[in-house]
Structure 1
């Protein structure tokens, strides 16, 4: 009976050790964390959810995409989100803010927008030095929404230049959108500014996966 109890005790200790080891292994492999920082093009864009799913399938590892975004926001709002984003300890930060900065009813000059972006990028790099930071140009803007943003390209160029001057990334999705027929583009972006979430995910997620990992998908998986 003593021997039997000893065997049970040894078995219990062995299983406990295995369980502890499993928990340790899980802790050693946290999800790849991405923070998407932006406007309504992010907060209700649909693409962050698709990116999480597509990138996880590519890497065969967990991916968590967190959004810090507000509809109607500008770089003025983003300046106040630096600590919040850095506090997430992200591996990657994806950012877009030019669209509302460029709206004529916001009265924000290109130079002010540029200065804001420079401060945001520097703040993010200081607060999250481990993070890969990527600035994005989203979809085309047309119709009344485009008319309200007559100098949109100048804002995009300013944001791109600030990112590239710091060795940070820049992704432009507009060529992929512009490859659609006029009818398809109008159907995909019915109000001229906000894409249907499912279409944004279909177009943007594969481009982001290719940009972020190149040919780094695990065996058996192909980059979109």
Structure 2
């Protein structure tokens, strides 16, 4: 009724301009409302769970930034990781992961299991990762659980892990048996020349963060958000 009265009060020759002003105002209001809704979405919470390849990885900030831009919503990435630890240690850290109530859990827990001096057999590693996956999935049934294979090892770091590929395979098999996801970053590293690879991983185990980000982040963003998003 008020709108009708206002319409009648506007001189006929000005009604077109008045309509245009109202139309533009409505477009601005819709645009501002859409932006507010996007900003008010809760963040996508990610926990990276692993060894020094996570604790010292340096790829988490890039993942957070690029995934947020791709999804058009906030993203937070936290780490539960410790250098030198194994899947046996990881079994004692599940409450820390669960406390974050993540939407996505990224897991790499094979690298130190595979070292000769830590005495985690292939069978024990497989049992551990199976228990980790079961407990996480039971407590967080809606979370995406993604196992990862990371970078290659070389030099002494490679020599003490002669069967690392077998450890990766059994972790992958346990994920697939449960219908969970697996992302293999090794092909990205294999595309580097031998000299570039040596420069990227100078100690034979821990990549430079800037190079790790270039290889790991696009792969994860594309896997999480869909093809084309990580490019």
Q: State the 1:215 CA deviation.
A: 3.9
Q: Which one has more relative contact order, counting CA pairs under 8 Å at least 6 apart?
A: 1
The residue matched to 2:77 in structure 1 has which SS?
Answer: strand
List alignment gaps of at least 5 residues for structure 1.
1-20, 218-222
Contact 1:59 1:216 survives alignment (8 Å): no
The residue matched to 1:186 in structure 2 has which SS?
Answer: helix
Q: How does 1:14-33 map to 2 (within 5 A)?
A: 29-33=41-45
List alignment gaps of at least 5 residues for structure 2.
1-32
Which residue in 1 is equivalent to 2:173? 161
Q: Does 1:63 align with 2:88?
A: no
Which residue in 2 is equivalent to 1:191? 203
Segments ≥4 residues shifted beyond 2 Å: 24-28
Q: How does 1:123-202 map to 2 (within 5 A)?
A: 123-202=135-214
Partners of 1:103 and 1:130 lie apart in 2 by 33
Structure 2 length-normalised TM: 0.82
Structure 1 length-normalised TM: 0.84
Which residue in 2 is equivalent to 1:53? 65
The residue matched to 2:111 in structure 1 has which SS?
Answer: helix
Superposition CA RMSD, Å: 1.8
Write the deviation string for residues 53-96 of structure 1: whole angstroms up to 9, x where unpaired: 11011112110001010111100111011121112111100000
Larger Rg belongs to? 2
Q: State the 1:28 CA deviation.
A: 5.9
The residue matched to 2:213 in structure 1 has which SS?
Answer: helix
Q: 1:99 aligns with which of 111, 122, 132?
A: 111
Partners of 2:182 and 2:199 lie apart in 1 by 27
Count of aligned positions:
198
Write the deviation string for residues 12-56 of structure 1: whole angstroms up to 9, x where unpaired: xxxxxxxxx9xx968962100000000110011011111101101
